[in-house]
């Protein structure tokens, strides 16, 4: 495993995710706040939004580190397939936690397509890099 690639991939994916979420919220492609988790979990409620975004970037960094490590074991599956499946699972889980729909149909209807597309692009970046580096350093 190539540690600098792992760290840079996770950092870039976390930064792009935060920027994308801010873009989606600014132009009303998602109707929930990316830093709204602070109210729901009663963490950092009175602090500045900049600190909330920084904490979210750190959490995304850790998430992408873990995703990269898991994807090292999926070298036999095409990265496109893996990334789409992971993106759909992550988006469904995120939307389910945020909107708390009453049924599965309600959860599917509440999914933001732009959010799904951005999640697929970023997970494809992480998955593709992990698979390539695993094959390169065998």
Residues 57-66 have pLDDT tens digits of 999 999 999 9
Reported confidence tier of residue 2, pLDDT bands at 50, 70, 90:
confident
Residue 58 contacts residue 75 (beta carbons within 8 Å): no
Write the pLDDT tens digit of every residue in 97-122.
777 666 667 767 778 899 999 999 99
Whole-structure pTM value? 0.90
């Amino acid at each position: 495993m190539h540690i600098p690639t792992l760290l840079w991939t996770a950092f870039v994916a976390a930064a792009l995710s935060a920027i994308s979420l801010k873009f989606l919220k600014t132009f009303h492609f998602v109707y929930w706040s990316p830093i709204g988790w602070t109210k729901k979990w009663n963490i950092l409620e009175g602090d500045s939004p900049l600190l909330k975004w920084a904490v979210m970037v750190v959490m995304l960094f850790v998430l992408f580190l873990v995703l990269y490590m898991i994807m090292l074991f999926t070298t036999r599956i095409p990265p496109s397939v893996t990334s789409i499946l992971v993106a759909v699972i992550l988006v469904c889980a995120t939307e389910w936690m945020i909107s708390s729909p009453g049924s599965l149909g309600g959860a599917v209807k509440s999914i933001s397509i732009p959010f799904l597309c951005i999640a697929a692009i970023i997970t494809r970046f992480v998955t593709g890099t992990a698979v390539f580096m695993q094959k390169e350093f065998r």
